[in-house]
Amino acid sequence: MSRFPALVGRAAGPWRRADAATRVEFIDSHAHLADPAFAADADDVIGRARATGAAAVVCIATTPDDADAAASLAANYPGFIYSTVGVHPHEAHAFDSLSDPGRIRDRLSAGAVAVGECGLDYHYDNSARPQQRRAFAEQLALARETGKPVVVHTREAVGDTAAMVREAGTAGVRGVLHCFTGPRELGETALAAGWYISFSGIVTFPKFRDDDLLRMVPEDRLLVESDSPYLAPVPNRGKRNEPAWVTLTVARIAAARGAEAESLGRATANNARVFFSLAPPGGG
């Protein structure tokens, strides 16, 4: 779940947008399909994602109740939608009342593929920073205990995030920094810990010009995401985002890396399968 100011206009730099005739395989590694924004037309949204090339969508939870809704959606689309369970830093002040470790463990045992979305957000400070760090630490501990990866939100909390990622990586926790926009040093810390990095539609915005950031992530640690219904990529900026538009993000990253969008999309899909332990193509 990300909240960034609207940035409207033409994307910086030359890059080929995937059009209706271009089918790029991808896995949307971070979407909030259980959000009320999709209540009226989730089936249509999922159909458009499939038609555009989505091999799967990971439906991200921000509270345990949210995780129940995400799990129900995954049950309706087996092998295509997968769910997570966790408590977002905005909700960390209510961590004890929202959840207990047993409830999260139960959901993980029942098929949730990751812990999260969790982490630190010092921009909004909707929860006190000590509460955020405690909730994040407890969820990192659950990831270590269960062997599940962790999906991390971080904003304006570079030092504390880096320290906690470094410690978690040393303990064997696997994770991804979702919706990554830098700084480079935090990305390098995550990569050194064996973690992955995911980019969203933000990379198509006109104010995003850090192509070096798009090139720094090794191909086998790169994920892509919509973060829908938020952060619709150019030229759909300002609209409700949806997984089908991840192809635009793939095209932007591919252009920065001097790669073909189709090849990069396949690579990121394979990375998502490895990271989340998803079924291989064909369900075998």
User: Would the CA dihedral through 104, 1, 235, 38 be positive or negative?
Assistant: positive
User: What pLDDT score does 3 carry?
Assistant: 36
pTM above 0.75, yes or no: yes
pLDDT of residue 65: 87
Band (pLDDT 50/70/90 cuts) for residue 64 is confident
d(CA 283, CA 234): 33
Q: What percent of the chain has pLDDT over 90?
A: 85
281: pLDDT strictly greater than 90:
no
Helix (H) or strand (E) run with residue 151 in it: strand 150-155
Phi first, then psi, for residue 121 (nearest 5°) are: -135, 100
Counted residue by residue, the chain has a size of: 284
Per residue in 216-238, pLDDT (tens digit) is 999 999 999 999 999 999 999 99
Look at residue 212 and give its three-state secondary structure. Answer: helix
Q: Give the model's pLDDT for residue 12.
A: 37
At 101 the pLDDT is 72
> Which residue type sits at 40?
A
Give residue-wise pLDDT tens across range 110-159.
999 999 999 999 999 999 999 999 999 999 999 999 999 999 999 999 99
pLDDT at res. 98 = 75
The CATH architecture of the domain made up of 26-283 is Alpha-Beta Barrel (3.20)
Comparing 86-100, 160-174, 216-230, the range with the smallest average pLDDT is 86-100
Would you state the structure tokens that stand for residue 184, as one six-digit string? 């480079």
Query: What sign does the dihedral 24-30-34-36 (CA atoms) show?
Result: negative
Structural contact between residues 264 and 254, judged by C-beta atoms closer than 8 angstroms: yes
> Can you tell me the distance from the alpha carbon of 116 to that of 195, in angstroms, rounded to the nearest whole number?
15
State pLDDT tens for residues 4-58: 333 223 333 444 554 444 689 999 999 999 999 999 999 999 999 999 999 999 9
Report the pLDDT value the prediction gives residue 23, as an integer from 0 to 100.
83
In the structure, what pLDDT confidence band is assigned to residue 279 with cuts at 50, 70 and 90?
A: confident
